[in-house]
Structure 1
Amino acid sequence: MAANYARISLASLTAPFPGCPGIDPGIVERLDRPAAVRHWLRAELCKTVPHALAEARPDVLLLDLAEERFDLLVLPSGLILNASLDLVESGLLETPALAGARRVPRLSAEAWDLWEAGLARFAALATSLPACRIVLHRFRWARRAQGTAVLPAALAILPGQPIVRAADHDALLGRLQDRFLAVFPGTQVLEAPPELCLADPEHRWGLSPLHFVPAYHRAIAETWHSLEGTLP
């Protein structure tokens, strides 16, 4: 894998319009955060992914829409950010550079429209990579946990945020994936059997609808290895 970008939404992957000012990368470099987190935040704030893709000319892009659970932020400049845990914990939202950010709830119609616009920009970007194959990890939120553990029907996406129904976010994820596949019909799908979509009560980051049991990850790895023979 040449590069990994996490905590980014398709809505926030690219600048919303030509000439939209980005954020000075210096504010990221000064953060006392792990290198991987700084890499992700730099990509999010400075919109570096399009340039990185143009330079790398990758053979394969593997996408996962798990980060589409976070609210969106719209700055006065029009720049869009994904309000991920890493961005919140970085403290950057309290800096002048991100002052005035307006929160857009992820389940709102406005968030869907912003995502649709981002998907269209990504589709335009993908045309500059005609030899690149796209693979989508398609999944749903776990509805059951392994063993006797019980998944909550409602939860806060981030600490201190309003409680939301897990089923609503699961439905949104399904809708987003269906829309992505409609725009990119040639996408290869990476998917585990539904019976393995179980939350892991022993997961190192705790019980969550997105923290799957080891058997799920093994199935995904096996499917990926079987796909590799069909990829460039």
Structure 2
Amino acid sequence: MSNQEILDKLRDTIVTQNINGCAEAAKEALAAGLSAVESIENGLSVGMKIVGDKFEAAEIYLPQIMMSAKAMNAAMEVLTPELEKEQTGEGVGTAITYVQEGDIHDIGHRLVSTMLGANGFKIIDLGVDVANDKLMEEVAKNKGHKTILVGSALMTTSMLSQKDTIEMLKEEGLRDSVKVMFGGAPVSQSWIDEIGADATAENAADAARVALNLMK
């Protein structure tokens, strides 16, 4: 089986919610010499993008999303030890990752956190439904260090809270000490420009590239 076929298999096991098959495909990828980062970026991440698009188009629903997440987690149990070995250098900065208050959709958030970690970021994962007060505390703790705030929102209502996050950072005198990247289905570049954040990304792999550029 070629490397591309293995990556396609990883993708398809995510789309079809094949939990055991996804873990096995991850093992096959490593056995074939594919890196954990490549397996995530060109296999799992592609599958999650398809799942996200299908969910947005109402072609699948929350139960299928949750099963795809379980498939991804099964693969990540295989890939995470290799990810840690692949990380080199002293790191490029700290990424505070979270899902916006009022939102508990964490599949994309977890994938982004994984990809950022694979690219050398120290990850502080605050989880889901995170209030802005908690964000301010964490940013303040890391003031003086290279830090990026990476927030996710899948719903328009929770997306609106991102504007409050930016305003609170300014009020607390923290805005200049942190880069801010927001993502999620409703988030667009025009929204990022409107609220004064630094960037958005289309998917987990893109998020890693964007975050690395922001840290330069």
TM-score (norm 2): 0.32
TM-score (norm 1): 0.30
Larger-gyration structure (1/2): 1
Query: Which one has a larger percent helix, Structure 1 or Structure 2?
Result: 2
